[in-house]
Amino acid sequence: MAAEEPEAEQGGEGGHDLLAMLPRLTQLSAAVNRGRLTERAMEAAGVSVDRPAMSVLVILHVAGGPLRVGEIASRMQVVGPHVTRQVNELARRGLVHRVADPDDQRARLIEPTTEGAAATDRYMRTVLGCFGDALAGWSPHDREVFGRLLARFVDDLTAHLDSFDDDRPA
């Protein structure tokens, strides 16, 4: 019995495909970290903040508008106080500032300053350039399929992992 695992432990039908995928996910993570993509992009952008602070700037950039701390935290999948510390440091450096929420004057939104937006643009150009170089030999169809499937995988995995939090006793 030990020589043959039940199908459920292998990931169900197609479990061998899942087993083959795990080392590739680890390899991807290692390649990005070993290649120091984040650090190189921050250096090229002239931004000297830590990774979580850069994540805040990227989330604001992708959002295309100011966000509440709670929304940034949700998108980063962290707790609010963690984001508040990052926002305070970014504000101290002049990269973000707080503005009144037009829907609730008591609340504050976080938005990048002109300097923060420019630095994030430089950072994003470096990151996207690296990914673009890696995909340069791919057909437009392959790039589209990869993007669609990657988005689906990340969304489905995130939702599945979030369901673990729902199962915890209150």
pLDDT at 35: 75
pLDDT at 19: 87
By three-state DSSP, how is residue 106 classified? strand
pLDDT at 166: 67
Per-residue model confidence as pLDDT tens digits over 85-137: 999 999 999 999 999 999 888 889 999 999 999 999 999 999 999 999 999 99
pLDDT at 109: 96
Average pLDDT, the chain: 87
Angle between helices 69-76 and 51-63 (to 10 degrees): 110
If you average pLDDT over residues 77-89, what whole number do you get? 93
Total residue count of the chain as it appears in this document = 170
pTM of the model: 0.78
Among 13-27, 47-61, 110-124, name the one with the lowest average pLDDT. Answer: 13-27
pLDDT at 148: 96
Whether the per-residue pLDDT at 38 is higher than 70: the answer is: yes
Whether the per-residue pLDDT at 163 is higher than 50: the answer is: yes
pLDDT at 12: 54
Distance of CA 46 to the CA centre of its chain: 20
pLDDT at 91: 97
pLDDT at 15: 67
Q: Which domains does the chain have, with CATH numbers?
A: 37-136 (1.10.10.10)
Nearest to 70 by CA among 104, 39, 31: 104
Whether the per-residue pLDDT at 153 is higher than 70: the answer is: yes
pLDDT at 33: 84
CB 73 within 8 A of CB 83: yes
**What distance in Å separates the CA atoms of residue 166 and residue 170, rounded to the nearest whole number?**
9
